[in-house]
């Protein structure tokens, strides 16, 4: 969904020191993954960020910078593997589809990312997980897994709960930010999720934005909606301020 240049991402990685960030290679089940960590101060509250179906690119780096400016550390996880940044739609579907079919692997990658964040100084005891599109779906998987995070935030993410799963083990609060013009994730999915979380007695908030399609936060794309992006970001920042200390 992102249209920002992947070359810019490589440039940012090459100048990570200037940005007070670092590329982080880490292992999960014998495979190497490449995350990105940046913190404005020692022991800063942490955001674990999950990318969309393009993989970890300059979009996540930009969001990381925005969060750093607000005093938050960010560990941008890699769900695909070092150097795997799909550009063709069929490759993106293949990468995400394989993880949707293997939820155990998805959870192990999340655990690996949290461990990697801890290894570089991330304060994972004072952290939330967030994600965009595919990353939003992964974030909700993290919530259902019982991960010891204070919160989980989905931006225009997939909202369907896999068969056999529920939110009975969720420990943190949940914030869902969704566009009512999203053709990929229906309002029926949105409503069903609300009922599930209410039944599980999970403290949650779910907000919709009129006219906002799937991927409405992606700068520079034809799907970008400035009003919805700014409003959802403002609510997200309020949520961080209230959730992380």
pLDDT along the chain (245 residues), means of 10: 41 45 97 98 98 97 98 98 97 98 98 98 98 98 98 98 97 98 98 98 98 98 98 98 97
- Kindly give, in sequence order, each residue whose CB lies less than 8 Å from that of residue 85, ignoring residues fewer than 6 positions away: 6, 9, 54, 55, 56, 57
- H-helix or E-strand containing 64? helix 58-69
Looking at residue 14, what is its pLDDT? 44
End-to-end CA distance of the chain: 33
Output the furthest CA–CA distance in the chain (Å, rounded): 47
Looking at residue 13, what is its pLDDT? 47
* CA pair distance 62, 143, nearest whole angstrom: 25
Looking at residue 15, what is its pLDDT? 40
Q: Which CATH superfamily is domain 6-243 in?
A: Alpha/Beta hydrolase fold, catalytic domain (3.40.50.1820)
Looking at residue 92, what is its pLDDT? 98
Contact call for residues 159 and 124 (beta carbons, < 8 A)? no
User: How far is CA 228 from its chain centroid?
Assistant: 17
Backbone angles phi, psi at 11, to 5 degrees: -60, -45
Would you give the DSSP letter of residue 87? -
* Residues paired with residue 32 on neighbouring β-strands, in sequence order: 27
In the chain, where are the structural domains located? 6-243
């Amino acid at each position: 969904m992102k249209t920002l240049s992947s070359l810019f991402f490589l440039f940012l990685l090459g100048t990570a020191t200037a940005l007070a960030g670092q590329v982080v290679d880490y292992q999960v089940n014998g495979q190497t993954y490449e995350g990105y960590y940046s913190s404005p101060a020692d022991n800063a509250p942490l955001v674990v960020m999950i990318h969309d179906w393009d993989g970890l690119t300059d979009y996540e780096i930009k969001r990381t910078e925005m969060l750093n400016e607000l005093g938050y550390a960010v560990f941008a996880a890699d769900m695909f593997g070092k150097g795997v940044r799909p550009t063709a739609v069929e490759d993106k579907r293949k990468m995400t589809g394989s993880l949707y079919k293997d939820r155990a692997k998805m959870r192990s990658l999340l655990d690996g990312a949290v461990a990697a964040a801890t290894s570089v100084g991330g304060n994972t005891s004072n952290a939330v997980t967030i994600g965009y599109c595919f990353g939003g779906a992964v974030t909700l998987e993290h919530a259902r897994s019982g991960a010891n995070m204070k919160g989980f935030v989905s931006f225009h993410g997939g909202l369907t709960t896999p068969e056999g799963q529920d939110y009975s083990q969720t420990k943190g609060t949940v914030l869902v930010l969704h566009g009512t013009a999203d053709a990929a994730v229906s309002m029926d999915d949105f409503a069903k999720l609300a009922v599930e979380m209410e039944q599980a007695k999970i403290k949650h908030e779910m907000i919709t934005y009129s006219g906002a399609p799937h991927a409405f936060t992606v700068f520079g794309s034809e799907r970008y909606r400035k009003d919805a992006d700014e409003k959802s970001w403002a609510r997200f920042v309020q949520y961080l301020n209230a959730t992380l200390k």
